Amino acid sequence: MLLQARGATTPANATSATIKENQVAFLLNDGKIVDLDGVSNISFSESFNNELYLVVFQRNHPGVISSYPLDTIGDCSCSYNYTIGPDQIFGGANGHKELKNNVWG
């Protein structure tokens, strides 16, 4: 997987011009994305002036951007769950499909 941190005020403004950092990661069988050691959380070293939108790329799929910004204030541990509803990705149901009851992918 390739993760991109994009600093912007909205997901529509989070274009390739707003890329702050890239991280390579592993996708686990349970859907979690972890660092290359297979267990650690991903960390970005860049500080952000705007809200942070996360873009996830997988080799067989176009990139998916979060609809909502992550909390980037202070030294926080942030998470984002793309699977809990169609509004979790920018573009909504146009880029998301309900895989089973209340699980989107």
Give the residues across from 90 on adjacent strands.
Answer: none
In single-letter form, the type of residue at position 89 comes to: I
Q: What pLDDT is attached to residue 76? A: 52
pLDDT digits (tens, 9 = 90+) for 60-83: 878 888 888 876 544 555 677 888
DSSP 45: -
Give the residues across from 103 on adjacent strands.
Answer: 100
Indicate the domain borders of the chain.
2-104
Q: What pLDDT is attached to residue 38? A: 92
pLDDT digits (tens, 9 = 90+) for 38-53: 998 887 776 666 688 8
36 band by pLDDT with thresholds 50, 70 and 90:
very high
User: How much is the average pLDDT of 74-96?
Assistant: 74
At 83, list the tokens: 């699977």
CA end-to-end span of the chain:
15
DSSP 89: B
Taking alpha carbons only, the member of 48, 91, 88 closest to residue 71 is 48
pTM for this entry: 0.79
